[in-house]
Structure 1
Amino acid sequence: QTAMAEGLGISPSYLNLIERNQRPLTVQLILKLASVYKVDPHELQGETKGSIAALREAFSDPLLAGELPGDQELIDLAETAPNASAAMVKLFRAYREQAERLSDLNQLLAKEGRATALSGARLPADEVHEVFERRPNHFAALEEEAEAFTS
């Protein structure tokens, strides 16, 4: 680490901060790295641009309406917490995949004449509550069975 820092013309402590994503990798330092270690500067930029695009896509989903962070906030998130950013994008893609599967299932059931109101945004408790509202807490068959059981 010390030799690398010397080769780049920076202090070892500054290099350590860069490695821990606590300092930005500046354009000047990228060019110096490319020159000293004979690598393509584009490879040193990592996947930040792709991460930013993926984060922007996730935050622009209707589920998060009105929550789209600005470009600088997305850049900061991608650069300072790359693992958290990647995990969030992974969760979003899994959510999107499940939403698509749910939509496909809805279409299949509708084609078979078994239309239902499946929705990824509804909780089972919401559906139970809706049943109670439709039947004013009265279930004749259940009450008859309860009376027969207690008799």
Structure 2
Amino acid sequence: MSDFYDFALPGLDGVPIELSKLKGKAVLVVNTASKCGFTPQYEGLQALWARHRANGLVVVGVPSDDFGHQEPGDSVQIGQFCARNYGVSFPMAAKSDVTGPHTIPLFRWLAANGGFLSRPRWNFYKYIIGRDGSLRTWFTSITSPDSERFQTAIERVVLDH
């Protein structure tokens, strides 16, 4: 089985996001969408990034149109939407399949490591990767980045040196 650091994602801005460059950092991977009821979670994700970035947390957004056609835009439209509405400055991948027959390798790895129930069933599933590259835990869409349970999980991996 592959290692978390073996993957690269095409970047929203055209620059690949090489996960190997994130070794030793805590990483939060989130499948996102611009026209979803959970889209306001971008605000909480940006706040996490701002608060914990200096401590080694990297948030990686992975836009996907897999659920309800809620990410219809292209890379430019997605980037503009995220910056204009939520001030998103964390790394964003290009729109990708996170479920189904064309699932990108990173999300296949997340499902293999998290188990059947960890496969995203909607937008804004959240996967917390420890500094050692292991999947520590995951959360469904209904868990807000602002929730105490989620904040505790993030702080646990950020403080794990």
Q: TM class by shorter-chain length?
A: under 0.3
Return the TM-score normalized by structure 1: 0.25
Q: Point out the structure with max Rg over C-alpha.
A: 1
Q: Give the TM-score normalised by the residue count of structure 2.
A: 0.24
**Structure 1 or 2: larger strand share?**
2
Decide which structure has greater helix share: 1
| Greater RCO, 1 or 2 (C-alpha within 8 Å, sep 6+) | 2
